[in-house]
Amino acid sequence: MAARSPQKKARPVKQESGPLRRASTRKSIQRTSVPENDVSSAAEASEAEAQVSKRAPKLDQKKRTTPRKAPSKRRREETPEEHTDDDDTADDPKEYDSDALDDDSDDLRDLRGTKTKSKKASSSPRKRRRTKVSSDDPELAEGQEIIGKVVEAPKTGHVPAGQISGNTLNFLRDLKKPECNDRQWFKLHEPVYRAAEKEWKAFVESFTDLLAEVDAQVPHLPPNDVVHRIYRDIRFSNDKTPYKTGFSASFSRSGRKGIFAGYHIAVIPGGESLIAAGSWCPGKNELAAIRANILRNPNRLRQVISEPEFVEWFGAAERPPDGERSNIFGMEDELKVAPKGIDKNHKDIDLLKCRSFAVVHRFLDTEVLDPEFKNKLADVARVMMPFVHCLNDMMTLPPDDNDGDEDQAEQGSGHGSE
* Residue 254 pLDDT > 70: yes
> Residue 43: pLDDT band by 50, 70, 90 thresholds?
low
Please give the Cα distance from 282 to 13 (Å, whole number): 114
Res 121: pLDDT: 46
Interval 95-146: pLDDT, tens: 544 444 444 444 444 444 444 444 444 445 444 444 444 445 556 667 666 6
Q: Is 209 left (phi over 0), alpha (psi -120 to 50) or beta?
A: alpha
- The whole-number pLDDT of residue 158 equals 94
Q: How many CB atoms lie within 10 A of CB 187?
A: 13
Span 6-35, pLDDT tens digits: 444 445 444 444 443 444 444 444 444 444
User: Which pLDDT score, from 0 to 100, does residue 145 have?
Assistant: 65
Note the pLDDT tens digit of each residue in 168-179: 999 999 999 999
pLDDT for 322 equals 73
* 324 vs 147: which has the higher pLDDT: 324
User: For position 148, what pLDDT does the model report?
Assistant: 80
**C-beta separation of 252 from 263 below 8 A:** yes
Q: Give the mean pLDDT of the chain.
A: 75
- Between 285 and 109, where is the model more confident? 285
pLDDT of residue 142: 75
Banded model confidence at residue 413, pLDDT cuts 50, 70, 90: very low
Torsion, CA 222, CA 374, CA 267, CA 334, rounded to 10 = 90
**So what's the pLDDT on residue 304?**
97
